Amino acid sequence: MKALVYDGPNSLAYRDEPNPSPEADDLIVRVHAVGICGSDMHAYHGHDNRRPAPLILGHEAAGTIEGGPRHGERVTINPLVVDPVCPYAMEGRWHLSPTRQILSMPPRQGAFAEYVRIPPRNLVRIPDHLPFEQAALAEPIAVSWHAARIGSGKLHQPLAACRVVVIGGGAIGLTSAIVARLFGAGDIAIGETNPLRRETLRRTEGFEAYAPGENDPKENSVDLVIDAVGAVGTRIAASRMIRPGGVIVHLGLLPGLEGLDIRKLTLQEVTVSGSYCYTPHDFEHTVEALARRRLGRLQWFEERPLSEGARAFHDIDAGATPAAKIVLRV
């Protein structure tokens, strides 16, 4: 099969690789579309020791089942593979299980390839009218669904009465705003440093988009902050803008411990919650919302062929694309 292989820091090769073989009860999925995630970029830069080269990256995928009684079934992939009898799985919190594996981390190769191996419980059927390129967005949107659900559940008033700010206008930040809007929020702003992306946020979904450091929300003015970057600077900004009794959802995965104003969080009883991945229910609800076209116009991503994947990584690095997401057609 053809695959886009991570060979080392800042190096990707499009080449022939062995086809995956089913193991245990796993199925083979013929990949039709796969998105580039921020974690793929992190690995590409050599900053993720969980993803050693050589490795096939990619986990935001959709395609068709290859072989067996479900041959040809159109599916999107939940890439979190968990032992179903793990106590966390039995509680419904699969994403916290210590047995968790994910596509694109050993021992599982990723989905920047023509074929990928995955357990059947990780496959969610999609309707014929849902394009594979949109179905591949289910995984990142499920991350946002989980974060927005956590944040809205911790507020002391209806989301419709709240000022919501999302820090970061990439795919996770943008879709966090989209999901918050679906949940009832009306007053939403997104902070994004890239002017091309700010224009995409305004043009495709009509969101208020501001340049951090220039037009920041006022101090103590925001009810819910979703930090989709997770850097020291964004934690400082979240601490500043959150109002007394508000909620900060920390969604970004950049390293570092500094930034949160612990004294303010204590004196003003601000709730801070981490948010990681999603539950199976979050994923299924996301797929249903995609199928019912409840998540906006979905005009904020760009499609390219897998064979041009290395160039796509380069353009993301350079900030040369206005798209919040690049989806690779396989």
pLDDT of residue 25: 87
Calpha distance 293→289 (Å, rounded): 6
Calpha distance 104→53 (Å, rounded): 11
Long-range contacts of 103-106 (CB under 8 A, 24+ apart): 103/58, 103/59, 103/61, 103/77, 103/79, 104/39, 104/40, 104/43, 104/51, 104/55, 104/56, 104/57, 104/58, 104/59, 104/79, 105/50, 105/51, 106/51, 106/52, 106/55
Distances (CA, A) of 297 to 65, 145, 221: 27, 17, 29
Q: What is the mean pLDDT of each run of 10 residues along the chain (330 residues)?
A: 97 97 90 96 94 97 95 98 95 95 96 97 98 98 98 97 97 97 98 94 95 95 97 97 98 90 98 97 98 95 97 95 95
Extended strands (E) in 152-279: 163-167, 187-191, 208-210, 222-227, 242-250, 271-274
pLDDT of residue 108: 95
Could you give the dihedral angle defined by the CA atoms of residues 59, 60, 66 and 71, in that order, rounded to the nearest 10 degrees? 140
The rounded radius of gyration (Å) of the Cα atoms in the chain is 19
pLDDT of residue 79: 98
pLDDT of residue 23: 81
Phi, psi of 312 (to 5 degrees): -60, -45
pTM of the prediction?
0.96
The residue among 90, 62, 74 whose CA lies nearest residue 301 is 62
Residue matched to tokens 């009306």: 186
pLDDT of residue 86: 95
pLDDT of residue 22: 80
pLDDT of residue 255: 83
pLDDT of residue 283: 98
pLDDT of residue 254: 85
Q: What does the DSSP 8-state code read for residue 158?
A: -
